[in-house]
Amino acid sequence: MRFYKNCLYCNEALSGRTDKKFCDVQCKSAYQYQQSKLQPERFYNKVDNQLKLNRKILKEFNKGGKVTLRAELLMDQGFNPNFFTHYWKNHKGEVYLFVYEYGFLKIKENNKTKYLLILWQNYMEHKLHE
């Protein structure tokens, strides 16, 4: 007895093995991608996506290597300062948070919250391990 089934993705009739679910690897891949989009976002994906967004935002605003700007400018773009990859403490005791090579320090200037943006420098490396 032969069972006739259809591809789970494109609904085309299947031929071959009785346990076959897809007509080809493209349909299998497309189906798995479609199913993953229906799943709630996993914690890892949320963190990774926020880090990518933070890096993109910091890169966009810090074209010169060092810049100070209002916190709202970053926040309006979706920046979240709670997501960072590492930190660096300078000789004054200020702790810069980094998203890969882009660093930021929250400061108060004229009663306004701002961020000082910097780029990672080679001299910061030795301080990382202390």
- Please tell me the predicted confidence (pLDDT) of residue 105: 98
- Please tell me the predicted confidence (pLDDT) of residue 125: 81
pTM exceeding 0.85? no
pLDDT mean values, one per 10 residues, the chain (130 residues): 77 89 94 86 89 98 94 97 96 96 96 96 71
- Please tell me the predicted confidence (pLDDT) of residue 1: 44
- Please tell me the predicted confidence (pLDDT) of residue 126: 65
* Domain assignments of the chain as residue spans, ordered by start: 1-39, 45-128
Give the separation between CA 118 and CA 99, rounded to whole angstroms: 11
- Please tell me the predicted confidence (pLDDT) of residue 4: 60
Buried b (16+ CB within 10 A) or exposed e, 5-17: eebbbeeeebeee
